[in-house]
Amino acid sequence: MVGVTDFPFLSILTLFPLVGAAVVAFIPKTRAQLAKTIALGWSLAVLALSVVMWIVFEAGGDRFQFRESYQWIPTWDARFTFAADGIALVMLLLIAILVPAVILASWNDVDETQRSVPTYFALLLALECTMIGVFAAADVFLFYVFFEVMLVPMYFIIGSYGGARRQYAAVKFFLYSLVGGLFMLAAVIGLWVVGGHTFDWQKLSDVSAAFDTNTARWLFLGFFIAFAVKAPFFPFHTWLPDAGVAAPAPAAALLVGVLDKVGTFGILRYCLPLFPEASRWFAPAALILGVIGIIYAALLAVGQNDLKRLVSYTSIAHFGFIGIGIFAFTTQAGTGSVLYMVNHGLATGLLFLVVGMFVARRGSALVSDFGGAGKLVPVLAGVLFFAGLASLALPGTAPFVSEFLVLIGTFTVHKVYAVIATVGIILAAAYVLWMFQRTTQGTLNPALTEVPAMHKDISLREKIVVAPLVLLLLILGFYPKPVTDVINPAVEATMQDVGTTDPAPTAVANGKVAP
């Protein structure tokens, strides 16, 4: 067993897609088909490796497994340290599942006459490398490097391969994230100075209790702003709808499915354990932002006429749930949040992919350009319906479990917030069902029949794209235990880092967390 866990899983998992990106990038433009095939094969190999890791990972074992550490910059004690806890592991698996789906879904999305096809797929693989790195890093410096570099491939994906307002959206995306990132840079340097000139997560978390209260609060804020922009939480969210609309739909699925989770993951991994006192101090504000986000984004989603923008807003609402789950500081809510991160990645990822299939057929993302589409493409409409139901957290689909856990876990300590958040569920039903009704039900829009592509129902390729996601959403809806078993110990450890204990089942908590 020792031999298996000593295998450098995480560094290989991180670097492997980068090698793939280099290989694909050097394929000439004229061999587009070859580039696509290699990219798909490469991402499937990554998936295989991460499945192996899933099997090797011991759910009841150490908090951090697969630990590797190599010297990098001794002057600053920055090292290539990789390690994964349960939270990181499930996110790595989510990435590994989504990327092949996204590659397959983008098969014909790039206009070969305008843009280079191999470059697009190389960028996707490069993005996968940085996404894996950001979740696998156990060194604050290394984390920051991946966090920032992640912007570059996404920037070019949106900017070069996106829709009408792609330049504006790409720059907005980049600048928002960079501004957040620079706040974090200041905090990272500050953390390095107060933490005794080291970047090692473990060492920093060991000395975190000794940080000066005020300093820790400022440092928390630096990290939190970066993560809140990334997630995005209200009021830092305005870049996401623009980016979501402008990005190619499959890339948008990655954007909201994985990239944004970096924000919530960062809060769990860095804000809470490294600045426990500050986390408790800021928790009320974070909870309020979360609740506002749930209601506000849901209301905006109801009013959208653009499918991609609508899905982006639903995503912001869901991040509100994840946020309150994290800052409720109960194991139940925390586990719910992490599970939500996975399920949201699957559900919203699926929704974006299916919306992308509709948009690719119609050539427009406007709800008003559809109408009765279910008569033309019944199966595809069915998948859209399922994705919508999953994303509104219908019982039987995976998001229900996580949303329920978040609400219960929050209710035990913060009744008011939990009750208000519940309104978000009703609004979710409204925006999903209304969107579904306006696009696929009712009388057939005559303009729709004139579009030849709208007469083609879901193709085999598209079935292969959606099938695994649909299956996973169903399985995890009925039997989430394999995932919760992995998440739970990591969440419990995080809650211990914060210094909170779960309220006794019968006790009435007054909304304050224990000191």
Partner 1 sequence: MGDLKLPEINYGALSPMLILFGAACLGVLLEAVLPRGRRHGVQLTLALASLVAALAAVILTRNTRVVTIGGAVAIDGPTVFLWGSILLLGVVSMLLIGERAVEAGGAFVSQAAITVGSDKDLKQAGGQPGATEVYPLTIFSIGGMLLFVAANDLLTMFVALEVLSLPLYLLCALARRRRLLSQEAALKYFLLGSYASAFFLFGVALIYGFAGAVDLASIHAAVADPQRNEVLLFGGLALVAIGLLFKGAAAPFHVWTPDVYQGAPTPITALMAACTKVAAFGALLRILYVAFDGVRWDFQPVLGVIAILTMLIGAVLAVTQTDMKRLLAYSSIANAGYLLVGVLALNKEGLSSTMFYLVAYGFSVLAAFGIVSLVRDAEGEATHLSRWAGLGRKSPLYAGVFSFIMLAFAGIPLTSGFTSKFAVFGAAIDGGQTWLVIVGVITSMVLAFPYLRVIVMMWLSEPGESTPTVSIPGFLTSAALVIGVIVTLALGVIPAPLLDLTNDAAQFVR
Residues within the interface to partner 1 (CB under 8 A) = 71-76, 144-146, 148-149, 151-152, 156, 159-160, 166-167, 170-171, 174-175, 178-179, 182-183, 185-186, 189-190, 192-193
Q: Tell me how far, at minimum, the Cβ of 226 lies from partner 1, in Å.
A: 12
Calculate the alpha carbon distances from 99 to 41, 54, 124, 225, 291 in Å. Answer: 11, 17, 8, 27, 31
| Nearer Cβ to partner 1 (174/224) | 174
Calculate the alpha carbon distances from 252 to 211, 270, 315, 452 in Å. Answer: 39, 26, 11, 25
Q: Which amino acid is at 37?
A: T
Quick check: 450 and 45 in contact, CB under 8 A?
A: no
Q: Tell me how far, at minimum, the Cβ of 191 lies from partner 1, in Å.
A: 10
Q: Tell me how far, at minimum, the Cβ of 74 lies from partner 1, in Å.
A: 6
Rounded Cα distance, 401 and 480, in Å: 8
Rounded Cα distance, 78 and 187, in Å: 16
| Nearer Cβ to partner 1 (189/429) | 189
Q: Tell me how far, at minimum, the Cβ of 210 lies from partner 1, in Å.
A: 18
Quick check: 186 and 231 in contact, CB under 8 A?
A: no
Q: Tell me how far, at minimum, the Cβ of 148 lies from partner 1, in Å.
A: 5
| Nearer Cβ to partner 1 (29/512) | 29
| Nearer Cβ to partner 1 (151/301) | 151
Q: Which amino acid is at 242?
A: D
Rounded Cα distance, 42 and 34, in Å: 12
| Nearer Cβ to partner 1 (166/318) | 166
Rounded Cα distance, 277 and 265, in Å: 19
| Nearer Cβ to partner 1 (75/506) | 75
Q: Which amino acid is at 74?
A: P
Q: What is the largest CA-CA distance in the chain?
A: 69
Residue 235's CB: how many other CB atoms inside 10 A? 11
| Nearer Cβ to partner 1 (34/178) | 178
Quick check: 421 and 294 in contact, CB under 8 A?
A: yes
Q: Tell me how far, at minimum, the Cβ of 361 lies from partner 1, in Å.
A: 26
Q: Tell me how far, at minimum, the Cβ of 510 lies from partner 1, in Å.
A: 37
In DSSP terms, 82 is beta-bridged to 68, 137
The secondary structure of 112-135 as a DSSP string is: TTTS-HHHHHHHHHHHHHHHHHHH
| Nearer Cβ to partner 1 (73/453) | 73
Q: What is the chain's percent helix, strand, coil content, to nearest 5?
A: 75, 5, 20
Quick check: 359 and 377 in contact, CB under 8 A?
A: no
Q: Tell me how far, at minimum, the Cβ of 171 lies from partner 1, in Å.
A: 6
Q: Tell me how far, at minimum, the Cβ of 71 lies from partner 1, in Å.
A: 8
Q: Tell me how far, at minimum, the Cβ of 248 lies from partner 1, in Å.
A: 14
The secondary structure of 277-341 as a DSSP string is: HHHHHHHHHHHHHHHHHHHHHHHHHHT--BHHHHHHHHHHHHHHHHHHHHHTT-HHHHHHHHHHH
Q: Which amino acid is at 466?
A: V
Half-sphere exposure of 191 (CA within 13 A, CB side): 34
Q: Tell me how far, at minimum, the Cβ of 350 lies from partner 1, in Å.
A: 29
Q: Tell me how far, at minimum, the Cβ of 286 lies from partner 1, in Å.
A: 23
Q: Which of 310, 319, 266 is nearest to 290 (CA)?
A: 319
Beta-strand pair 78-84/65-73: antiparallel
Asked, as a colleague might, if the bond just before 235 is cis with ω within 30 of 0, I would say: yes
| Nearer Cβ to partner 1 (71/443) | 71
Q: Tell me how far, at minimum, the Cβ of 496 lies from partner 1, in Å.
A: 30
Stretch (H or E) spanning 65? strand 65-73
| Nearer Cβ to partner 1 (144/224) | 144
| Nearer Cβ to partner 1 (166/261) | 166
| Nearer Cβ to partner 1 (52/149) | 149
| Nearer Cβ to partner 1 (23/185) | 185
